[in-house]
Structure 1
Amino acid sequence: PLMIITQKITTLACQLHDGIGRQAEELTAEQNRLAVKSRPSLLEYLSYLLNFMSIIAGPCSNYKDYIAFIEGRHVHMKLLEVNWKQKGYDRLPDPSPTGAVMYKLCITLVSLILFLTLTKNFPMAYIIDNEFLDKTPFLSRLGYLYVVTQAAKPKYYFAWTLADAVNNAAGYGFSGVDERGTFRWDLLSNLNIWNIETATSFKMYIENWNIQTAAWLKRVCYDRAPWYPTALTFILSALWHGIYPGYYFTFLTGILITLAARAIRNNCRHYFLSSVPLKIAYDIVTWAVTQLAVCYTVAPFVMLAVEPTIKFYKSVYFHMHILSILVLLLLPSRPQTHSVRRAQNQAMLNSIKSK
């Protein structure tokens, strides 16, 4: 609960600062949309922090969305945002969350079954077992690392999908209408399982895993950091998770791999877009590398302690660390233009100096 409350307090603080302490021209479009222009009452504040739907497992939501839900205008507001008349409706629809809730409850049931059957049979600790390390070739160890990482996922799928379903059942989480005219109840969704399992880049994986936490990190850190936003965001994520050393191994490794993956994509991807077979081959290779990179990165997160983490890294020869450093040293950096970010950061610095 404290982790979720931390997210909510900092989210509201940043959005209040955007609404009260900054000029509109200093804000991005998203910051302007979410800015809170008046201080909430004590009751509103405590309700936002401690509401029963998200107090245990989240997810964190934006203050304006939550207040709109409490005041009974959440669905109407989202329909207006997507211009429901252009979606083929001749009168204001009244979407029901029942279908979305039932679908998500089915996912939680499957995830629970997988957790009870797979997770205990494929423990992460086995990848550093001495007998396993002595008898298993390197590539087989990587394959088993992928298997045990997959086996560790169902508990997260279960908790986050159930939390999403609880909010939807209360009528919260409506996000609009898609291109086919289907009502969407994914405003508070914390993961996209299909995109996770088929991710062809480290960035794509991160964006679909713990989505609301990633959005929180982006809004309170990445979009506001004047320098090194990627590194600072990963460090903040580690601090938010807690004090176990494994968290810091994971997120510091994540910085390296994210930067290396970005460099490879910027320098190489365009060579594989000229034909369909090349694109398919590129996607297959990047999928395999992404999945292995994620497994390598998150293993310390599960192990938590220093000794098993170092033993694991030694057993796989620190290969992802070495490859990432080589990529960053050998490939030319091709940073995208961040004129908007630079202007925003300069405006922020000027605002701070003026105070």
Structure 2
Amino acid sequence: MEPATWACALANRTVTSWFIVGSEPPAGRDAGAVSFPGLCRKMLCKVLCKALCKVLCKVLCKVLCKVLCKVLCKVLSKVNFVVCQLFALLAAVWFRTYLHSSKTSSFIRHVVATLLGLYLAVFCFGWYALHFLVQSGVSYCIMIIIGMEHMHKYCFVFALGYLVVCQITRVYIFDYGQYSADFSGPMMIMTQKITSLAYEIHDGMFRKDEDLTPSQRDLAVRRMPSLLEYLSYNCNFMGILAGPLCSYKDYITFIEGRSHHVTRSGEDGREAPPCGGAEPSPNAAVVQKLVVCGLSLLVHLTVSNAFPVEYNIDAHFQATASWPTKVLYLYVSLLAARPKYYFAWTLADAINNAAGFGFRGYDRHGEARWDLISNLRIQQIERSTSFKMFLDNWNIQTALWLKRVCYERTTWNPTVQTFVLSAIWHGVYPGYYLTFLTGVLMTLAARAMRNNFRHYFLKSPQRKLLYDVVTWAATQVAVSYTVVPFVLLSIKPSFAFYSSWSYCLHIAGLLVLLFLPVKKTQRGQDPHEHRRLSRSKKFDENSWGQNSFPTTTNNVCNQGPAQAARHPSGTE
């Protein structure tokens, strides 16, 4: 072999061994010299490191962006809700000042209220606001196409079914367990309005007056609303985000400027003092409710986080805390969870009042009452001495809706059906169903206890005081025990809580129902006999044995003195 050929072959074998095997260069080679294999390895490492860093950065950025977006969406959704409600408050003042019924037509008021409401919905929820129009639009088509005899049933099934589908997609596809503002919240209020109006139209345009209860007769709608009136009722800026529910007749009366012209009676059933026909100002009521909002928000931001409901199922707490400590913490933690509801519902009430909506009449002292669509009575809630009294003053308009569309219209076990409907309407979290099924048991047991023992404690003021103290403590503990799954949402922590309490109140409720006699209600009687009893002085529409839901109607001020006197003032 020639020397040149031999040298080339040797060089090829050496370079190949350096590059592939990674052997060191021959002895005598300058250590500082850059060899071809070393250069290749360095370049390869550089390329690999660069590619790896690029991939890692891309993955980390994607994960961080996803987390940040989720956090920002939660924060911004809550900020959007508060900002929109504050804007609605200012818009309500402007609406009452510049678009008063004495200055413009009902058509303009309907248009402006609807457009502002849709704008707030789009600003707060984006394209999800289309669900509001779909639900309202299809329901209106059902009202127009289906006959008056059955359209209320079809509207009820569609509106509630559409709400449930939206809740399922939001909970199990998008954001399980989050309480951030979501589009299904306003849809819950819209479902109430759609179904209430459908039943009111059915009562007014199909059923006979003699077959209606006094409240149904008073709320009955005698003509089909126009599309503009319907959209204004469902999507007005005052109630599209947080409600509360109001009757269609009350809303139309407000838009047309007839709220303070109708005949009204005082809270004691007697005629209110004359007021010269002047329209009352809501300013004092609005300021008072805004103060309540501020205090509720302050308590929520400072106290609520210090007493989380989840701590009730903490393993260390369950193992070390005594029973009195568990009971006390249960009450305090659920007490601290209520101010956020006080804030949202009171602010919504203030917005409606600022627009001039919510005037109920005058009290015995001649003071204007702006609680026509109020959703809660805080003092009565915190001083409740019975399960019924708590329900009567908590989420009042929802309780009225449940009473009007379910409790009054069903013939089989209305209490159970009403609680089931309430659970379905609230959402698809398992904790909701545990709460409302437990609520059925607590309601029936409390009713039996009250009917069998209360009359023994009315013979003297001392006994009555003792009864009130004991029943207040029992009610607060029972309510807190019942609603823990409502806050925890999931099935496992809910059962963990009930297990830590050994299901003691469930067992106590079952024992009460088994061993104490329960008075029968008038549900099974003939309708004419039921109407005769309802007109009797001995028949109390708000008695514990008859109804576990508030019987206050929205337009009590439009009723006669005898009927208005039967409506509760918030106490038993």
What band does the TM-score fall into relative to the shorter chain? over 0.9
> What residue in structure 1 maps to residue 227 of structure 2?
42
The correspondence for 1:241, drawn from 422, 426, 449, is: 426
Residues 200 and 287 in structure 1, CA contact (< 8 A), matched pair in contact too: yes
Unaligned regions of 5+ residues in structure 1, if any?
348-355
> What residue in structure 1 maps to residue 517 of structure 2?
332
> What residue in structure 2 maps to residue 343 of structure 1?
527
The correspondence for 1:94, drawn from 275, 279, 293, is: 279
Deviations 1:301-335 (A, max 9, x none): 00000000000000111111001000000001122
> What residue in structure 1 maps to residue 442 of structure 2?
257
Where does 1:108-257 land on structure 2 (aligned, <5 Å)?
Answer: 108-257=293-442
Residues 250 and 300 in structure 1, CA contact (< 8 A), matched pair in contact too: yes
Q: CA deviation at 1:88?
A: 2.5
> What residue in structure 1 maps to residue 264 of structure 2?
81
Amino acid at match of 1:82: S
The correspondence for 1:70, drawn from 242, 245, 255, is: 255
2:464 aligned with 1:279: yes
Deviations 1:9-54 (A, max 9, x none): 0000110010011000000011000000100000000100000100
The correspondence for 2:455, drawn from 270, 274, 296, is: 270
2:26 aligned with 1:26: no
CA distance in 2 between counterparts of 1:321 and 1:90 reads 53
Cα 1:174–1:344, aligned 2, differ >3 Å: closer, same or farther? farther
CA distance in 2 between counterparts of 1:90 and 1:170 reads 21
Where does 1:309-328 land on structure 2 (aligned, <5 Å)?
Answer: 309-328=494-513
Runs of 4+ in 1 over 6 A off after TM superposition: 344-347
Residues 272 and 278 in structure 1, CA contact (< 8 A), matched pair in contact too: yes
Deviations 1:238-285 (A, max 9, x none): 000010000000000000000000001111100111111111000100
Cα 1:232–1:119, aligned 2, differ >3 Å: closer, same or farther? same
Amino acid at match of 1:271: Y
Amino acid at match of 2:491: V
Deviations 1:147-201 (A, max 9, x none): 1001100000000000000000000000111111111000011000010000000
Identity %, equivalent residues: 55
Cα 1:324–1:93, aligned 2, differ >3 Å: closer, same or farther? same
CA distance in 1 between counterparts of 2:209 and 2:273 reads 34
CA distance in 2 between counterparts of 1:279 and 1:318 reads 30
Structure number with greater CO (CA < 8 Å, separation at least 6) is: 1
Where does 1:285-300 land on structure 2 (aligned, <5 Å)?
Answer: 285-300=470-485
Residues 173 and 186 in structure 1, CA contact (< 8 A), matched pair in contact too: yes
Deviations 1:105-138 (A, max 9, x none): 0000000000000111111111101011111012
The farther-off stretch of 242-251 and 220-229 is 220-229
- Residue 234 of structure 1 aligns to a residue in which SS? helix
Residues 313 and 500 in structure 2, CA contact (< 8 A), matched pair in contact too: yes
- Residue 87 of structure 1 aligns to a residue in which SS? coil
Deviations 1:188-216 (A, max 9, x none): 11000010000000000000000010111
Q: CA deviation at 1:236?
A: 0.3
Q: CA deviation at 1:139?
A: 2.1
Amino acid at match of 2:341: Y
Cα 1:234–1:291, aligned 2, differ >3 Å: closer, same or farther? same
Residues 27 and 344 in structure 1, CA contact (< 8 A), matched pair in contact too: no
The farther-off stretch of 330-339 and 281-290 is 330-339
Residues 191 and 209 in structure 1, CA contact (< 8 A), matched pair in contact too: yes
TM-score for the superposition, normalised by structure 2: 0.59
Cα 1:292–1:342, aligned 2, differ >3 Å: closer, same or farther? farther
> What residue in structure 2 maps to residue 301 of structure 1?
486
CA distance in 2 between counterparts of 1:227 and 1:90 reads 47
Cα 1:346–1:95, aligned 2, differ >3 Å: closer, same or farther? closer
Cα 1:283–1:291, aligned 2, differ >3 Å: closer, same or farther? same
Q: CA deviation at 1:81?
A: 2.7
Deviations 1:48-97 (A, max 9, x none): 000010001000100000011111112222xx132899423262132100
The correspondence for 1:52, drawn from 237, 240, 248, is: 237
Cα 1:315–1:345, aligned 2, differ >3 Å: closer, same or farther? farther
2:290 aligned with 1:105: yes
Amino acid at match of 1:183: A
> What residue in structure 2 maps to residue 352 of structure 1?
none
Unaligned regions of 5+ residues in structure 2, if any?
1-185, 532-572
Amino acid at match of 1:122: F
- Residue 60 of structure 1 aligns to a residue in which SS? coil
Amino acid at match of 1:152: A
Amino acid at match of 1:232: Q
- Residue 301 of structure 2 aligns to a residue in which SS? helix
- Residue 375 of structure 2 aligns to a residue in which SS? coil
Between Structure 1 and Structure 2, whose CA radius of gyration is higher? 2
CA distance in 2 between counterparts of 1:37 and 1:296 reads 44
> What residue in structure 2 maps to residue 350 of structure 1?
none
Residues 264 and 272 in structure 2, CA contact (< 8 A), matched pair in contact too: no
CA distance in 2 between counterparts of 1:145 and 1:291 reads 10
The farther-off stretch of 329-338 and 261-270 is 329-338
CA distance in 2 between counterparts of 1:234 and 1:125 reads 25
Cα 1:252–1:85, aligned 2, differ >3 Å: closer, same or farther? closer
CA distance in 1 between counterparts of 2:271 and 2:515 reads 50
CA distance in 1 between counterparts of 2:332 and 2:473 reads 13
Amino acid at match of 1:219: R
CA distance in 2 between counterparts of 1:111 and 1:345 reads 47
